[in-house]
Amino acid sequence: MRSALPLSARSFNRLLSSAVNVVQAGGGGGSGCSSLLPRRWASSLPQLDSVDRSDEESGGEMIDWDNLGFGLIPTDYMYVMRCSVEDGAFTRGELSRYGNIELSPSSGVLNYGQGLFEGMKAYRRVGRAGYTLFRPEENARRMQHGADRMCMPAPSVDQFVDAVKHTVLANARWVPPQGKGALYIRPLLIGSGPILGLAPAPEYTFLVYAAPVGNYFKEGLAPINLVVEDGVHRAMPGGTGGVKTITNYAPVIKAQMDAKSKGFTDVLYLDAIHKRYLEEVSSCNVFIVKGRVIATPATRGTILPGITRKSIIELATDRGYKVEERPVTVDDLIDADEVFCTGTAVVVAPVATVTVEGQRYSFRTGPDTVSQELYTTLTSIQMGLAEDSKGWTVAVD
């Protein structure tokens, strides 16, 4: 067990000067929107000295870095940026103490689910100070694409990446030691303004918070057990399955809970029309392997275009595998040698068994598998253990 230290004076000054830069970069000036934040956070600079930091002093000491799971461990700061309809664009953001936010009961996100989120990870750099992010501009672009679908303004790629970097630096003491996990970063874009009739909200909030995490599944890195679900669907053609809206997730919780109560790790969903083609798992994309051929369901609006998915496709192709993005049937799955899942939270998770209509099918797992090879290739780049010849990692100093 290692304890995390409070912010050093150097970090504090760096944080403060970073925050000043953010405010200046935004051109100053208030947005004119009503504040989402409690009054103590509403100034143009983070209220670092005026808040009670006693929780901060004690919180980190409780962290058992060797046993991080995917539970929420609150950190010190979050980044908030707002945009009203009059503004038309996000103009300036600021760091605030991590905590509850104030929302109108009639906000668009609470009433109509107008919201998107992203998931990202920051790792402690090997051999020198600082942190690395993995393809953060991909998350920014995916949020922009989703915002278009959900009728919301989105931050620019630079604003998004800048906000994420500030959030990492402000919470640097929560980035797990190398090999113990990552700082999971959760950017949110929500319709925070009040609206009663069904329409886009009049104000939007972009918020980034972070939490240290280890493995997503309770199995750790051990292979998982899935069950194919043909009664509940996570997406349909013309819906929002292809964007990371918050409304894609609550509807699958029941199926997930039912599966867990029967001893499965998670659910593998099928397409809503034919109930025959694989879509994805509740929190990740799915791949099957047959010989040197890897297949994954093509993203045609119902499947989330995962950034880990995209990276694995490229890395596997580089390593000589034939990778097919195509409709993948349940029969293809049953016939596969290996099955694995990909996602920011799950990384690359090998699948030991998939149960289809009560029949359990087993797949290869272990050291000499394709999923293990791809897991090592990907995480070595993400953690800075291998050369990043693709320029995917972004330094945070």
- Ranked by CB distance to ligand COI, the top (closest) residue is 119
Rounded least distance, CB 244 to ligand COI, Å: 7
Contacts with 108 (C-beta within 8 Å, 6 or more apart), sequence order: 114, 190, 191, 192, 193, 194, 195, 200, 201
Rounded least distance, CB 386 to ligand COI, Å: 22
- Which lies closer to ligand COI via its Cβ, residue 15 or residue 224? 224
- Which lies closer to ligand COI via its Cβ, residue 305 or residue 327? 305
- Which lies closer to ligand COI via its Cβ, residue 141 or residue 319? 141
Rounded least distance, CB 347 to ligand COI, Å: 9
Q: Where are the beta strands (DSSP E) in 131-276?
A: 131-134, 182-191, 203-213, 224-229, 266-270
**Residue in 121, 165, 218, 244 annotated catalytic:** 244
Alpha helix stretches (DSSP H) within the chain = 9-25, 54-59, 108-112, 136-149, 157-170, 250-261, 307-318, 330-334, 370-382
- Which lies closer to ligand COI via its Cβ, residue 92 or residue 165? 165
For CA atoms 124, 128, 134, 136, give the dihedral sign: positive
Contacts with 354 (C-beta within 8 Å, 6 or more apart), sequence order: 225, 226, 227, 228, 268, 333, 334, 339, 360, 361, 363
Q: Which residues contact ligand COI by CB under 6 A?
A: 119, 283, 343-345
Rounded least distance, CB 136 to ligand COI, Å: 13
Distance CA 180, CA 213 (A): 9
Catalytic site residue 180?
no
Task: Catalogue the active-site residues.
Answer: 244
